[in-house]
Chains A and B, each alone.
Chain A
Amino acid sequence: MSNDQSSQPDTLNSAERATIDSSVAAPVILFFGTAIFWLLFGSVFELISAIKLVWPCFLDGCALLTYGRTSVVSVNALAFGWATPAAIGIGLWLTARLCRVELARYKSLLAAGIIWNIGTFVGVAGIFVGDNTSISHLNFPGYATHILLLAFILIAVWAIVTFNHRKSGPLYVSQWFLVAGFFSFPWLYATASQLLVWNPIQASAQPAIAAWFAGGFFNLWLAPMGLAAAFYLIPKAVGRQINSNHLSLVAFWSLLLFGAWSGTSRLIGGPLPAWMVSVGVAASVMMIIPALAVALNLHFTLDGHYAAMSWSPALRFTITGVSMLVFTWVFTAINSLPAVSSVTNFSDITRALNLLGYYGFFSMTAFGAIYYIVPRLTGKEWPSSCLISWHFWLATTGVLLAVSVLILGGLIQGFALHDIGVTFRSSMDFIFPFRFVAALAALLIVCANLAFALVFAGLHWSLRRPGTAPALIAVREENSQEPVAV
């Protein structure tokens, strides 16, 4: 397959681009707008849960707000209210652009967006009233899962039709990732819902499937969608071609193969056949390959053009996001080695790695993509470059602070849980200050998301007249060769 892709994202002229963009505008804005609501909602509940861990009296003794519900609500609202719709929105826009077709019937997509949000709402409400299924990332009760799958089928049908109508030409690397993501998600979600939630099979067979789903949800759904955006935006924003098609191929196929098998590494020593865990550990370690391939490829593409990061919010967020993906995969590889996981398993390091992957990588990349896409859909510019800057620094500081303290604290906690001579109470005393800082970091993340929501709302309520210059977060250098791509 090495010669059937172009290294150029697309060769549309600006008029064609504008027609295609405006044809997808309504559904994409719908997905982004609702996603941002759930982002705020989920991160507020993440903050509440983080506070509860250090100060258990906070909102205690109330069924709706008990820790076991707030933390599950935050994870699922972020995964299915924010991340998945954001990925869908990015995917719709990229599909239309890369297949070079105008969107014909967008009403079905609007319907899908509305149904999806009803499903998320029902699922979150279900957790609050006590219908949590208690399967990680599949906590929504069965009656909500049906609604979500129905919405996704509408989207998948649209994606298949669009791919079939695409203008002929080589498939660009982002398109591979899009196909992989749009294909994997329904398969993962339908299989896991059927076997674990709707008609659960015997519990003895469930752990492997649950782990397969949790691993696949990140590595085969969110990672491909985020990378599709990165492989499109980064070359476009600096006006260059993707450095190496061979590296893209390596990244793509190694991600698919190892990502699909990686989920079980977390269950080391758990109640499932040992070979499944061994395969999972091996696959998690092999994730170093896509990590390196993505990092090198994008680095060589950007080489000499990193300066554009200083004024383009889209580029700054996307590059930060992809770097965190590389770290997520590298840390997960280290953390799944048996010698390491015997100490770190069940410690707060798991929280750190989840945060790094879901927020550090996916959310940051999605922010970058949204900053890039929305002005092109609406013809309006972002209202405030100052707020965008705040968004970036609050989000980056928040996530890096939380991840570093939880890794450090998690290591100490892990050694305490591991050491036969140390009591359980000591493990709690050791981790306490780290959880305290992590709660502060969760507050920073809420503020970052709030800044983002304000920027997004400001654009739609036209706080800035159309036709003004793009919102750059720094002054462009006088003699810069970089094309403007905010």
Chain B
Amino acid sequence: MNKLTLLFTGIFLTFGSAWVGLVAYPVANLGQMQPLPNEETGGVNPPTVSGLAIAGQKVYAANGCMECHTQQVRPDPFSTDIAKQLGKRQTVPRDEIREHTPFLGEYRIGQDLSNYGARQTDAAAIHRHLYSPTSVTPWSNMPSYSYLYEYRKIVSQPSAHAIQGLTGSRAPKPGYEVVPTQQAEALVAYLLSLNQNYPLPESPEPTAK
């Protein structure tokens, strides 16, 4: 008997079992999910999002936001996410179908963002925070994304897109303005689109205690 063959077969079977369960199974069973029709609005759940928001996913990935932010609401008893109002219901695979890559994250150095668009609807406020987090939240350790903005001198007329109300050390000097780049606009559109407050049959809202 060839011992190497025996060893090899054993490795193949153990490794292969997990491959079938954790790779082939999800590819076959979770890889072709469709949105469900929404009778009330005539649209679908999860709702389709704008192209700008989809472009924002790339900005989110490029800047490593998921190093500090999770995007998953876990049910009881595995967490207190729902009691902490991070979301009304558990995140399920169908919630991910609009994403290119699911940004589940491993650390909550910052808050969970699964439903950020449900608690924040003001784009200008998000711009101010991204441009200079500590000017909005002094105790924050979130990095400044000022490099996604253009700091420039106002020529003739101020831009209509310039961010208003900036304070703190990065605030523009008189005669200057801060204008979001295309990337910043896309990122904010993406953040505003983060909202799982639509019903899915596989993820019922837990009834209040």
Contacts and interface: CB of A to CB of B under 8 A. Distances in A.
B96 A271 contact: yes
Identify which of B12, B74, B83, B104 gathers the most chain A CB atoms within 10 Å of its CB.
B104
The majority secondary structure among interface residues of chain A is helix
Given A4-B3, A69-B64, A260-B14, A206 B102 contact: yes
Contact of A204 (B74, B93, B107, B111): B93
B110 to A, nearest CB: 8
Interface string B46-74: 00000000000000111111111010101
Q: Could you say which interface size class chain B belongs to?
A: 35 or more
A420 B79 contact: no
Nearest to A216: B18
A261 interface: yes
Interface stretch (A32-40, A131-139, A377-385, A393-401): A131-139
A170 B3 contact: yes
Contacts of B62: 130-132
B14 A1 contact: no
B190 interface: no
B208 interface: no
A212 interface: yes
B91 interface: yes
B61 A271 contact: no
A270 B62 CA distance: 23
Contacts of B64: 66-69, 71-72, 132, 134
B31 A267 contact: no
A187 B19 contact: yes
Interface string B104-144: 11111101000000000000000000000110000111111
A261 B64 CA distance: 28
Contact of A341 (B17, B25, B78, B107): B78
B3 A202 contact: no
A206 B101 contact: yes
B92 interface: yes
A67 B67 contact: yes
B91 A202 contact: no
Given A171-B4, A191-B19, A345-B79, A61 B72 contact: no
A351 interface: yes
A71 B67 contact: yes
Interface string B17-35: 1110111011101111100
Interface string A252-284: 010011001101101111111100100100000
A104 interface: no
A202 B97 contact: yes
A257 B18 CA distance: 8
Interface string B68-96: 10101011011111011000001111111
B144 A203 contact: no
Nearest to A212: B22
A63 B147 contact: yes
A306 interface: no
A67 B61 contact: no
Interface in A183-236: 183-184, 187, 191, 195-196, 200-209, 211-212, 216, 220
Interface of B: 3-4, 6-8, 10-12, 14-15, 17-19, 21-23, 25-27, 29-33, 60-68, 70, 72, 74-75, 77-81, 83-84, 90-109, 111, 133-134, 139-147, 170
28 contacts: A1-B6, A1-B7, A61-B143, A67-B67, A67-B68, A71-B64, A134-B61, A171-B7, A183-B15, A187-B19, A195-B23, A196-B101, A200-B100, A202-B31, A202-B33, A202-B97, A204-B33, A205-B30, A208-B26, A212-B23, A270-B72, A272-B30, A341-B78, A342-B77, A345-B78, A345-B79, A347-B108, A348-B107
